[in-house]
């Protein structure tokens, strides 16, 4: 009877996971049709809030929920006060963005509660991940077959993105799902053939996605899991993963990722020639007018390639921030431009902004967006030093938990499932550091939350297996 009562809840939890790719596809087609994807965003946020409420209602002890909520509310209050000091232009938009950030730790907490109440979900969630990955694969195949794939790099027609909206988020999702899904298939099917086929499809999907992180993530997954499977006496599967990793590594010079990098370098050379011409013209004009200001020779180049910075901060401050560089690799670096813009914004903000962050709308100009392409930097500029410290402390707690578990129970965690989970978290951490595609993107942060909850569950079982049982 009890088992029968659990089934609907299990189905609900797994459905929350499997529906995520479908929401992403819906968002893509809404954007492609010129319609705002507000509906899917609200639906996703609603589902995540439902997950949090579900965890709260099922929790036997709710202190963690109260503490987490209190900390987030205090951070929000500090953030609002900091924004008001500078002039709060778009509070609803800004606070909605904060909610998107806050949902990750709250969702992870909720899944910890669900795993505590229903330990059997630990063995079912990887199956839901595998189904998500299969749905993503089918979508990419359909998009490619119908000629409607927008591509990871649309201006170069490189990379198989499928009907998904944000490439960096999708790359993180693929890297998180793949190792866990592979181990699920290994456990689910007794013979090696299904594993060989699925691993080729899933890792090939990562390789053809064309981002640097997905390409090298594919190789990392193959090498780590391959070695581990050999140690676990799964020789055929382990050798196969190692072969795939080596083959993909050898194919890197011919990969879509390498092709993209070649085009980037070629484009930089073209821009360098253009910058040199602009500098020469400004130099001639400065010589004729006896203008000795060092930034004078950079006026045309910086106005062409850094218009937002020059418009907002002036030519002199912008040139100083770039150390009067004439290199295209500096001036045309989008990531650097966004980071420089954010730093200069922070410099002219009240001291409270350094503690609690700035308004999201300040990153947007009439012509461009300067949202930084690094989640850690993004959290710092949006939530301040206090928010970043809280985030690092949050992740640090999981690192300490894993380390303590390994110290006390050296071999209890050395299972295929936990190694795959660690690989997922490592690749996700790389995406957080190198892109803005995880912590502020609920479609990716949802999977991170589930992975963190699984990590907590495995460590808890290793440290106190009798209690968890």
Q: Which residue, among 42, 4, 91, 101, has the nearest Cα to 378 in the 3D structure?
A: 101
What pLDDT does residue 187 have?
93
What CA–CA distance (Å, rounded) separates 75 from 92? Answer: 16
Rg (C-alpha) for the chain, rounded Å, is: 24
- Residue spans of the domains in the chain: they are 2-254+373-468, 270-347
Q: Are 143 and 163 in contact (CB under 8 A)?
A: yes
What CA–CA distance (Å, rounded) separates 347 from 351? Answer: 9
Run means of pLDDT, 10 residues per run, the chain, 469 residues: 63 94 94 83 91 94 95 97 90 92 96 95 96 97 95 93 94 97 94 95 97 97 96 93 97 96 95 96 88 89 94 94 95 94 93 94 83 93 96 96 86 88 97 94 96 96 62
Q: Are 30 and 40 in contact (CB under 8 A)?
A: yes
What CA–CA distance (Å, rounded) separates 16 from 37? Answer: 19
What pLDDT does residue 407 have?
86
DSSP string, 6-53: HHHHHHHHHHHHHHHHHHHHHHHHHHHTT--THHHHHHHHHHHHHHHH
What pLDDT does residue 366 have?
72
Which 3 state secondary structure label does DSSP give 369?
strand
What pLDDT does residue 469 have?
37
What pLDDT does residue 5 have?
52
What pLDDT does residue 1 have?
39
Q: Which residue, among 85, 83, 103, has the nearest Cα to 93 in the 3D structure?
A: 83
CA distances from 311 to 74, 304, 341 (A): 35, 11, 11
Q: Which residue, among 258, 171, 167, has the nearest Cα to 217 in the 3D structure?
A: 171
Q: Give Cβ neighbours of residue 58 (< 8 Å, ≥ 6 apart).
A: 113, 114, 117
What pLDDT does residue 71 have?
97
What pLDDT does residue 2 have?
44
- Read off the tokens for 368: 């461009």
244-249 own/partner pairs: CB under 8 Å, 24+ apart? 244/199, 244/200, 244/203, 245/218, 245/219, 245/220, 245/221, 246/222, 248/203, 248/207, 248/215, 248/218, 248/219, 248/222, 249/219
DSSP string, 183-246: HHHHHH-SSHHHHHHHHHHHHHHHHHH--HHHHHHHHHHHHHHHHHHHHTT-HHHHHHHHHHHH
Write b or e for each residue in 390-404: b if 16 or more Cβ atoms lie within 10 A of its Cβ, otherwise e. bbeeeeeebeebbee
Q: Look up tokens 């942060």; give the residue.
A: 445
What pLDDT does residue 468 have?
41
């Amino acid at each position: 009877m009890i088992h029968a009562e659990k089934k609907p809840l299990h189905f609900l939890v797994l459905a929350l996971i499997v529906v995520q790719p479908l929401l992403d596809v819906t968002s893509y087609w809404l954007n492609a049709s010129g319609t705002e994807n507000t509906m899917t965003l609200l639906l996703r946020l609603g589902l995540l809030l439902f997950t949090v409420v579900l965890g709260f209602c099922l929790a036997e002890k709710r202190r963690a929920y109260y503490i987490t909520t209190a900390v987030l509310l205090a951070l929000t209050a500090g953030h609002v006060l900091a924004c008001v000091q500078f002039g709060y232009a778009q509070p609803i938009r800004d606070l909605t963005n904060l909610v998107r950030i806050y949902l990750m730790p709250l969702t992870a907490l909720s899944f910890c509660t669900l795993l505590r109440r229903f330990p059997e979900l630990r063995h079912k969630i990887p199956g839901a991940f595998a189904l998500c990955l299969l749905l993503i694969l089918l979508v990419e195949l359909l998009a490619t077959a119908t000629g409607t794939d927008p591509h990871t790099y649309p201006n170069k027609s490189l990379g198989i993105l499928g009907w998904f909206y944000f490439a960096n988020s999708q790359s993180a999702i693929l890297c998180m799902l793949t190792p866990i899904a592979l181990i699920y298939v290994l456990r689910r099917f007794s013979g090696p053939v299904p594993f060989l086929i699925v691993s080729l499809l899933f890792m090939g999907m990562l390789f053809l996605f064309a981002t640097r992180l997905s390409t090298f993530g594919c190789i990392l997954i193959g090498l780590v899991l391959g070695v581990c499977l050999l140690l676990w006496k799964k020789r055929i599967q382990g050798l196969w993963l190692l072969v795939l990793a080596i083959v993909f590594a050898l194919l890197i010079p011919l990969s879509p990722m390498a092709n993209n990098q070649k085009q980037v370098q070629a484009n930089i050379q073209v821009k360098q020639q253009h910058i040199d011409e602009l500098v020469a013209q400004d130099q001639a004009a400065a010589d004729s007018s006896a203008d000795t200001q060092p930034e004078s020779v950079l006026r045309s180049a910086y106005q062409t390639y850094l218009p937002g910075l020059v418009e907002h901060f002036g030519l002199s401050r912008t040139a100083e921030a770039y150390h009067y560089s004439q290199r295209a690799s500096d001036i045309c670096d989008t990531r650097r431009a966004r980071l420089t813009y954010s730093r200069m914004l922070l410099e002219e903000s009240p001291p409270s902004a350094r503690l609690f962050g700035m308004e999201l709308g300040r990153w947007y100009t009439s012509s461009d967006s300067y949202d930084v392409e690094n989640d850690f930097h993004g959290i710092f500029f949006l939530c301040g030093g206090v928010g970043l410290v809280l985030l690092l402390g949050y992740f640090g707690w999981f690192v300490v938990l894993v380390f303590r578990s390994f110290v006390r129970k050296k071999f209890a965690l050395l299972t295929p499932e936990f190694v795959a989970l660690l690989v997922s978290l490592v690749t996700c951490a790389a995406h957080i550091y190198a892109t803005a595609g995880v912590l502020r993107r609920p479609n990716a942060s949802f999977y991170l939350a589930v992975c963190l909850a699984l990590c907590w569950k495995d460590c808890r079982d290793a440290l106190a297996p009798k209690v968890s049982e």
